[in-house]
Chain A
Amino acid sequence: MQSANTLLRKIVRSSVPPFAAQHGMKKDLFPLRTLSLSLCLKQDKSCEPSEKLDLDEWKKVMKSGLQEEVSETVSEPKELSSLAAARETLEMWRLAGRAVPEKMSEDQIKTFMECPSKSAKKKYLKFLHLKELYKKNDKRKAEEKRERKLEAQDQASKTDEPKRSPFVCLWSSTMDKAYNWRAAQSMIFGQPLVFDMSYEKEMSVREVTNTVRQLVLSESCNRRSVDPFHIHFCNFKHDSLYEREFIKHYREAWDKLLITVTDQCYTEIFPKDKLIYLTADSPKVMKTFDHDKIYIVGSMVDKSIKTGVSLARAKRLGLETAALPLEKYLLWNTGAKNLTLDQMMHILLTLKDTADWKKALEFVPKRKYCGFVNKPVKELKKTLDLINMLKLGKGREKVEKQFAKNYPKKYKLK
Chain B
Amino acid sequence: VQPPEKPLQAEEWNKLREDFQLPGIFEEVMLNSMIRCNSPIDVAKSLLTHLAKRNGDIAYNVLVKYLTLCVHQGQVSEIRDMYDIMKGRFKILESGAYNLLIKGLSNSDQWRMALTLLEEVKKIMIPSRTCYESCIKAASCHQEMKLAFELYNEMLDKGVVPTLDVLQSFFYFSRGMKGAELQKELFGILLYLRENQIYPHKTFMRSIKLWFESIPGGNWKGRLTKIKDSGQCPVCNHQLEDSNLTEEEYSNLSERIIRDVIHGTDTFRKTSPKEFEAFQAFVESRLPFDIVIDGLNVSHIKSRKMQCENLFDAINCLAKENARLLVLGRKHMLTNSSNWKREIMKEMQNKADFFFAENISEDDAFLLYATLRSGKHCKFVTRDFLRDHKACLSDSLTRHLFRKWQRGHQIYKNKKMFSSVLSQQPAFRYDCVVQTTGDTWHIPYKDVFEEKYSYQVPRNWLCIQQK
Chain A residues packing against B (C-beta within 8 Å)? 11-12, 15-17, 20-21, 26-27, 29-30, 32-37, 53-59, 61-63, 65-66, 69-70, 73, 85, 88-89, 92-93, 95-97, 202, 283, 307-309, 311-313, 315-316, 410-411, 413-414
Nearest A-chain residue to B24, judged by Cβ: A29
The reply to whether A62 and B94 form a contact with Cβ atoms under 8 Å apart is: no
Q: Given the complex, which residues of B lie within 8 Å of A12, measured CB to CB?
A: 53
Considering the complex, which residues of chain B in the window 45-86 have a beta carbon less than 8 Å from any beta carbon of chain A?
A: 45-46, 48-49, 51-61, 64, 81, 84-85
Check B60–A96 contact: CB distance below 8 A: yes
User: Do A92 and B58 touch (CB < 8 A)?
Assistant: no
Task: Quote the shortest CB–CB distance from A17 to chain B (angstroms).
Answer: 8
Given A55-B49, A283-B359, the answer on whether A95 and B60 have CB atoms closer than 8 Å is yes
A96 with B56, Cβ < 8 A, contacts A58-B48, A315-B272, A411-B330 known: no
What is the CA–CA distance of A92 and B265 in the complex, to the nearest angstrom? 42
With both chains docked as a complex, state the minimum distance between the C-beta of B352 and any C-beta of chain A, in angstroms. 20
User: Contact between B332 and A63 (Cβ–Cβ < 8 Å)?
Assistant: no
Instruction: Report the bound CA distance from A315 to B270 in whole Å.
Output: 10
Q: Are A73 and B91 also in contact (CB < 8 A) when A30-B55, A34-B56, A89-B125 are?
A: yes
Contact residues in A for B363 (Cβ distance below 8 Å): 414
CB atoms of B359 and A411 under 8 A apart: yes
Q: Smallest distance from the beta carbon of A217 to chain B beta carbons, Å?
A: 28
How close is A385's CB to chain B, nearest CB, in angstroms? Answer: 19
Q: How far does the alpha carbon of A202 sit from the alpha carbon of B265 in the complex, in Å?
A: 9
If the complex has contacts A58-B51, A414-B363, are A312 and B57 also in contact, measured as CB distance less than 8 A?
A: no
8 Å CB contact of A414 from B60, B61, B384: B384
Interface residues of B in 258-292 (CB under 8 A from A): 265-266, 268-270, 272
Complex CA gap A30/B42 in Å reads 24
| B: number of interface residues (CB 8 Å) | 53
Cα–Cα, bound, A63→B48 (Å): 13
Query: Separation in Å of the A55 CB from the closest CB of chain B?
Result: 4
CB contacts (< 8 Å) of B57 on chain A: these are 30, 32-35, 61-62, 65
What's the minimum C-beta distance from A312 to chain B, rounded to whole angstroms?
A: 4
Which of A27, A93, A315 has the most B CB atoms < 10 Å from its CB? Answer: A315
- Which single residue of chain B is at the shortest CB-CB distance from A31? B59
**A307 CA to B268 CA, complexed, in Å:** 12
* Chain A residues positioned under 8 Å from B53 (CB to CB): 11-12, 15-16, 57-58, 61
Find out whether the CB atom of A92 lies under 8 angstroms from the CB atom of B52: no
Chain A's closest residue to B45 (CB) is A55
B364→A414 contact, CB < 8 A:
yes
Give every chain A residue within 8 A of B54 (Cβ-Cβ).
16-17, 20, 26
Distance in angstroms from A162 CB to nearest chain B CB is 51
- Contact across chains for A92 and B92 when beta carbons are under 8 A apart: yes
For residue A85, which residue of chain B has the nearest CB? B124
Asked whether, in the complex, the Cβ of A96 is within 8 Å of the Cβ of B61, the reply is yes
Q: Does B360 contact A (CB under 8 A)?
A: yes
- Scoring A33, A61, A69, A73 by chain B CB atoms within 10 A of each residue's CB, the highest score goes to A61
